[in-house]
Structure 1
Amino acid sequence: MPDAPFPDPLAFARATQRAAQENWRAAQARTLDLLGYGLAEHPYEIVAETPLWRLRHYIGGTAPQGPPALMVPAPIKRAYVWDLAPEVSVVGTGLAHGLDVHLVEWRPPAAGGAPHGLEDYARAVLAAAEAVTARVAGTPVVLGHSLGGTLAALAAALEPAHFRALVLLAAPLSFAPGSSAFRDAVALREDRTPEDGLVPGAQLGQACALLAPGTFVWHRWLDGALSLGDPAALALHLRITRWALDEVPLSGKLVHEMVQWLYREDRFTAGRLELGGRLIGPQTLRLPALAAVSRSDEIGPRAAVEPFFAHMAAGSTEIVEHPAEIGVGLQHLAILAGRQAHRLVWPRIAAWIAARA
């Protein structure tokens, strides 16, 4: 019987290191679950699904009085950051304001499966909107956070008639040099992402930490230290920490197209991003749009939205700012999980949605 081939030492070392990191993260997650910082989501049902996504419909205590809402998380991590705890839940806020809440739950891409790029994810948002409309006979307002907001904007630019309005939550649309510190760091980095493979979640997290250590490392540590004097902030920080441990892989094709087409070439703002044989940009995003931004957010600040809005139809856009928070770990998450954001900003967002119902 022939001897088994000896594994490549470097590949073997990397695989061993990844396995050790995953085991350590899993142990941390189990510990936080035992301490009571695990899932605390509202009840929901799955009303549509494909290999790439599932559509959640949240079950509230009373019949919704407002329009349907379609929430689009970033596909990088799990969706429950939208429903982290009763006092800081975007899902709960939507239900409390009478919205018929739906949420796209991205499924991790399968190893060896067909690669998915920007167009696939944008069309997934369109398909989810169609599923919502078929269920409730109403066009949804679409709300997206971070990359989820960017994907929602791409979908709305492709087919604006599928949506009632667009709400962007720390979601960058413009990627000109200087628009954000994170954009500049990504654009300068050499992209070696294999388009036909997967990017492990831990690897993506490490890359972000190396690109922007202030945002992804030092600010998180500082937030933890500042939270020690505030029990509510500390509890929130630990819930965010638990959520951050749930890494999921991302399609290499999506990462490559996002870095090249958006971060480096800024095709969407320039109106020359081609998806499905069509050029999309501000000129094709013909619906009311609201953006929530923070000066403390280095990923989706005002400068990453305002230039795009300036080229849309006059009077159809609005930008609201929210303050920095303690307990959220990353300021990029403050609009979803921040206590001040839920107290001060979300009533304004809900009123803006109601005015377009």
Structure 2
Amino acid sequence: MTRLPDIALDMLDQIRRATGLLFDALGSGPRTTPSTVLNIAPGVRLHVYPSASPSGSPVLLVPAPIKRSYIWDIEPDLSVVARCLEHGMRVHLVEWTDPGRAQQRFGLDQYADRLLVECLRVVTERTGAQRVPLVGHSLGGTFSAVCAARHPDLVTAIALLEAPLHFGTDAGAFTPFVSATPAASSPPLSAGGVPGSLLDIVAATAAPAEFQLDRWTDFVRSAADPVTLASYLRVLRWTMDEFRLPEHLFSDVVERLYRADEFMRGTLVVDGRPVGAATLVVPMLNVVDPRSDVVPTCSIMPFHEAAASAEKRVLEYHGDTGVAVQHVGVLVGHNAHRDLWPEILGWLTGLPTSR
């Protein structure tokens, strides 16, 4: 793939962020739940939300490290945070922060292991729980699965929302696209990391229908209803909140996951130990969207079926209007909040707390 000069991508990031501020001024910014923010380690913060149920089950929500974490809490009626609080849970949300120079060497060992483990330890210390369930979306779900496979002693269960687990050439729109790119081990980018706009360009090129055409189709469908249009504009604003990816993490995702499919093969070594389907023993729920080209069923089900978990469940999500990008509809869609989240949260809180 021929990359735009880094300076051009930086300028595009800045333009998109400025456009996002205009959306804020027009009333389409996020309406988030108040939280206490803890600085856990360079690269990650933790949002802790006040709970009306001090003895409720804890949960750790894990976003993808690509855009801002408030997509989980974009407005009260479409907030996963709010749904979890209403269900009596003690909610904690990971916020990945912009990588500095020191974090450019952070890869899967850090994002899927050390940083998540630090967050888990803070949650267990604050709540007194021995283990904590992880709920992850997209690449955040992949990280959650890797962490659970490496640390079953810290994780009660995992709920994965359109999270790719099996890669290879037949597992989604990104895999043939990545296979055709040059090696990612040394991306020709500045020390600031991989610009968010580059990731947007890759996504739009790999899956143009899902990331371009569907966005405008959804706008037309949303325009007649003020409530749906308002949620559409809020999500569209979020898509402009660019986030740089550490160079080493970018390389690990492309080379170790997409190209080599190491997690599915059981050859992914994290902190000195191999992890894969055979080492994933905690209860697992997967949400799949049968229509998706980005994370199709074939990128989830082979791993799901191979996992050693004794308790496994699959739920299907069939989309929403007013979500701008269907891949995040499971987090911000009216149908998802009405039909899907009660099942997810019921499954999580109905599991035994110890093994």
Q: TM-score, normalised by structure 2?
A: 0.92
Q: 1:6 maps to which residue?
A: none
The whole-number CA distance in structure 2 between the counterparts of 1:275 and 1:292 is 25
Deviates more, 1:293-302 or 1:91-100: 293-302
1:166 is the counterpart of 2:147? no
Q: How many residues align?
A: 345
CA contact (8 A) 1:115 1:251 kept: yes
Q: 1:188 maps to which residue?
A: 180
Q: 1:257 maps to which residue?
A: 252
Instruction: Give per-residue Cα distances to partners, 1:107-162, cap 9 Å, x unaligned.
Output: 11113655111111112111111111111111211100011010111111111110
The whole-number CA distance in structure 1 between the counterparts of 2:24 and 2:124 is 37
CA contact (8 A) 1:183 1:263 kept: yes
CA contact (8 A) 1:82 1:91 kept: yes
Give the one of 117, 122, 131 matched to 2:122: 131
Give the one of 44, 59, 63 matched to 1:53: 44
Give the one of 68, 76, 84 matched to 1:78: 68
Amino acid at match of 2:283: P
Give the secondary structure class of the aligned counterpart of 2:66. Answer: coil
Alpha-carbon RMSD across the aligned residues, in angstroms, is 2.0
Deviation at 1:182, TM superposition (A): 2.8
Give the one of 26, 46, 53 matched to 1:63: 53
Deviation at 1:16, TM superposition (A): 5.7
Deviation at 1:322, TM superposition (A): 1.2
1:141 is the counterpart of 2:133? yes
CA contact (8 A) 1:298 1:332 kept: no
Amino acid at match of 1:337: V
The whole-number CA distance in structure 1 between the counterparts of 2:136 and 2:245 is 18
C-alpha spacing 1:286/1:244, structure 2 compared with 1 (3 Å): same
The whole-number CA distance in structure 2 between the counterparts of 1:16 and 1:332 is 29
Deviation at 1:284, TM superposition (A): 0.8
Instruction: Give per-residue Cα distances to partners, 1:175-215, cap 9 Å, x unaligned.
Output: 13322223332333334463694101112212222222222
Q: 1:231 maps to which residue?
A: 226
Deviates more, 1:41-50 or 1:84-93: 41-50
The whole-number CA distance in structure 1 between the counterparts of 2:135 and 2:93 is 9
C-alpha spacing 1:221/1:173, structure 2 compared with 1 (3 Å): same
1:310 is the counterpart of 2:300? no
C-alpha spacing 1:45/1:243, structure 2 compared with 1 (3 Å): same
Amino acid at match of 1:144: G
The whole-number CA distance in structure 1 between the counterparts of 2:296 and 2:84 is 24
Unaligned segments of structure 2, at least 5 residues? none
Deviation at 1:314, TM superposition (A): 5.9
Amino acid at match of 1:120: Q
Amino acid at match of 1:199: V
Q: 2:79 maps to which residue?
A: 89
Alignment of 1:1-357 (within 5 A): 14=5, 17-18=8-9, 20-60=11-51, 62-111=52-101, 113-122=103-112, 123-138=114-129, 139-192=131-184, 194=186, 197=191, 198-313=193-308, 315-356=310-351, 357=353
CA contact (8 A) 1:53 1:107 kept: yes
Identity %: 37
Deviation at 1:295, TM superposition (A): 1.5
Deviation at 1:170, TM superposition (A): 0.9
Give the secondary structure class of the aligned counterpart of 2:145. Answer: helix
Deviation at 1:301, TM superposition (A): 2.7
Q: TM-score, normalised by structure 1?
A: 0.91
The whole-number CA distance in structure 1 between the counterparts of 2:38 and 2:255 is 35
C-alpha spacing 1:14/1:55, structure 2 compared with 1 (3 Å): same
Larger CA Rg, structure 1 vs 2: 1
Give the secondary structure class of the aligned counterpart of 2:94. Answer: strand
C-alpha spacing 1:18/1:304, structure 2 compared with 1 (3 Å): closer
CA contact (8 A) 1:42 1:59 kept: no
Deviates more, 1:69-78 or 1:299-308: 299-308
Give the secondary structure class of the aligned counterpart of 1:164. Answer: strand
